[in-house]
Amino acid sequence: MVLCLLSGQSLAGGEIVPTDDPGSDCVAATIATRRSAANRTYDEAYCSVNKDPTAYRTCLKNAAANPTIAFFTDRCGDAEDGAYVSFNGQTHQVRRKSESPHRLVRYAGTYTGEGVSVRVVPGKLIERFVEDGEVLGVTYSVDVFITRGGETVKIAAIYDDRR
């Protein structure tokens, strides 16, 4: 599969940088975007727990080798548990405020919590994964709008719910 992603574009001139959600061991649907140069600062902070210089460099190398950032997921939780959005090295739990009807993108809608608002707007179907006539998942282009403290960014991303 080819991912054609654009880096986050600020609508208010500020800096909200999607960062990897630490997640869980489950195979949850995610929304991911392209890793940008701005991620280097957050990768360095994450890798700094490694006091050994070789381990630190290896951590940075591994982070840089992953071209995408999975920054939104529900971590296989129930709908009432909400979802998690990660940016600027922090993860925020958000709860669904309104649902946008979309048959295949279950994250479509608006979420709020911890001073953060997230709106997921589905775009076009990229790929449908079918085996023996059963749909095992889809990938969709989505626009994700994240608002915090009066600052809003629009992030072109990919929704992926393959099982």
**pLDDT digit string (tens) for 26-56?**
778 999 999 999 999 999 998 999 999 999 9
pLDDT at 33: 96
Q: Is residue 21's pLDDT more than 70?
A: yes
**Residue 147 CB contacts under 8 Å (≥ 6 apart), including other chains:** 116, 117, 118
Mean pLDDT for the stretch of residues 79-106: 89
pLDDT band at 6 (very low <50, low <70, confident <90, very high): very low
Q: Is residue 18's pLDDT more than 60?
A: yes
Q: Which residue has the higher pLDDT, 1 or 117?
A: 117
Nearest to 97 by CA among 121, 113, 74: 113
| Share above pLDDT 90 across residues of the chain, in percent, rounded to a whole number | 68
- According to DSSP, residue 23 is labeled -
pLDDT at 24: 66
pLDDT at 5: 38
C-alpha distances (whole Å) from 155 to each of 13, 31, 74 are 13, 10, 18
Q: Is residue 148's pLDDT more than 90?
A: yes
pLDDT at 3: 38
pLDDT at 94: 96
Q: Is residue 86's pLDDT more than 50?
A: yes
pLDDT at 92: 95
Q: How many CB atoms lie within 10 A of CB 82?
A: 19
pLDDT at 22: 77
Listing DSSP states for 115-150 in one string gives TEEEEEEEEEEEEEEEETTEEEEEEEEEEEEEEETT
